[in-house]
Amino acid sequence: MLKFLLICTLAVASRAELGEEDDVLVLKKSNFDEALKAHPNILVEFYAPWCGHCKALVPEYAKAARIMKDEGSEVRLGKVDATEETELAQEYGVRGYPTIKFFKGGEKESPKEYSAGRQAEDIVAWLKKRTGPSVAPLAGVTEAESLIADNEVAVIGFFKDGNSDGAKAYEKAAEVTDDVPFAMTADDAIFSKFEVSKDGVVLFKKFDEGRNTFDGELTKENLLAFVKANQLPLVIEFTEQTAPKIFGGEIKSHILMFLPKTAKDFQDKMEQFKKAADGFKGRILFIFIDSDVDDNQRILEFFGLKKEECPAIRLITLEDEMTKYKPESDAITAESIISFCTLFTDGKLKAHLMSQDIPEDWDKTPVKTLVGKNFEEIVFHASKNVFVEFYAPWCGHCKQLTPIWEKLGEKYQDSADIIVAKMDSTANEIDSVKVHSFPTLKFFPAGEERKVIDYNGERTLEGFTKFLESGGKDGGAPAGDDDDLEPEDLDDVDEEQDMDSDGEDDDEHDEL
């Protein structure tokens, strides 16, 4: 009997073992199921202790947990050290840090990916939209004022008849908008307080104009376009916190101004940039990047810029393929920026492709050096089979590959028809080849067809040799059949890589 009681006591203690740190539940595989039973709605962050983005999120995540707890919400926030709880991380497909998933109703199988910003207010707003009504009713002026005061952006629908076509369209728009709270009122006092005389929709925000009034036919599509165009500042600074909003939004055309905040004419250039932004609201996102911040140096490198070359303007599209554009003029005036953006929206701009100058000794070593200016001539030579490594100087996987690639070059340096080459893809871009991750290995067989074959075999001298001797058949695949990650999160280039059970970088590629 004593043994039985001891077992029961241990079992109860195990079930109760849900530790907390700053109001955030500390979750493990051993208590995960119990946590979902006790708290059916949990937002879970899978993190790595060494991850810079995770460290930056800590205070905001704790603040959000405290807000939800203080409000008496049933929703809790939890965290999992994915480097320790590797089985749990693998079960939920954690490939980068932080990964945040929402478990609703105690359901384990298909959690919802968190898709909003990394500020406490963003997290709270997202959770409330996920667990409460898509449109919150407002009973009085105080509630309306609190909604506006507590949120960076909030939308209020003013409808005397909640069953009208306009009100129904408003509710449909609210249902598919995660990152902005929607509310509705028929209260005369609220109408009067905010000087609204007829049914309509107003977006309130803590920046720029302060509020925007919808003007047009009340349809779901029109309302979504209205919110999309007005929910972000005319000019948004790229930071750890704003990156999810920038890359996760629907506006995929971004114009970037690289400028140090310490510049004497900083304010003047910001005013010019902001003035230009007004005419492209909802079509082009205007982003400011402080070129003096260390964390932003990789982004400068991505655009082929150095700190001393700033201020500078660049434009990028994040559609199926990333395309960059560079203005002809270095002037940063509202007029020059408007002209540049107008040429882009009219489809009259050509992509800007970076290229280094051709080194004098580019062909003097076993592994030939390619740049944008000599790429086409070498790789599409009708009588040459060219095997190219597209690399980044900072890429750990590329560094590991270097000695093997050099041995391969030595093996074929006297070949009449095989060339082993490399190209720094952070400084050189090719219109005919899109590089999504590092290293990328592509084979360009001899002939007039301009064929491209991706190498998917083992990264060994033997594997490469078999591939070349088979004419690109043993270890190859038609170009485009790979499943490399898209380069969307420029803020996460250092952190969001696959990790093995020891927390070490175990992916075959470094993301671009």
Which residue bears the tokens 């592994």?
Answer: 367
**8 catalytic residue (yes or no):** no
d(Cα 490, Cα 488) in Å, to the nearest integer? 6
Decide: 419 and 387 in contact? Cβ < 8 Å.
yes
Alpha helices, H only, 446-494: 461-469
Helices (H), 231-347: 243-248, 266-277, 297-302, 334-345
Burial of 116 (0-12, 13-18, 19+ CB in 10 A): buried
Going by C-beta distance under 8 Å and a sequence separation of 6 or more, which residues neighbour residue 51? Answer: 97, 98, 495
The 8-class DSSP code of residue 499 comes to B
| Residue 170: Cβ within 10 Å count | 29
Q: Element (H or E) spanning 211, and its range?
A: strand 211-213
Exposed / middle / buried, residue 355 (Cβ in 10 Å: 0-12, 13-18, 19+): middle
Identify whether the C-beta of residue 155 lies closer than 8 Å to the C-beta of residue 183: yes
| C-alpha 266 chain-centroid distance | 27
CB contact set of 234 (below 8 Å; sequence gap of 6+): 208, 274, 277, 278, 281, 286
Q: Read off the tokens for 107.
A: 């359901």
Contact (CB, 8 A) for 259 and 288: yes
Rounded to whole angstroms, the Cα distance separating 133 from 328 reads 50
**In 295-356, alpha helices (H):** 297-302, 334-345
DSSP classification of residue 301: H
* Helix, strand, coil tally for the chain in percent (to 5): 35, 20, 45
Looking at the DSSP bridge assignments, the partners of residue 43 are 77, 102
For 509, the 3-state DSSP assignment is coil
Report the alpha-carbon distance of residue 52 to residue 77 in Å, rounded.
Answer: 20
- The answer to whether 61 and 77 are in contact (CB under 8 A) is yes
- According to DSSP, the β-strands at 440-444 and 385-391 are antiparallel
Which helix (H) or strand (E) covers residue 237, if one does? strand 235-237
Q: Can you read off the two tokens belonging to residue 182?
A: 């929607």
From 8, 54, 310, 341, the catalytic residue: 54
Q: CA 134 → CA 166, 174, 249, distances in Å? A: 16, 6, 19
341 part of the active site: no
Closest CA to 49 of 495, 492, 509: 495
Catalytic residues: 51, 54, 395, 398
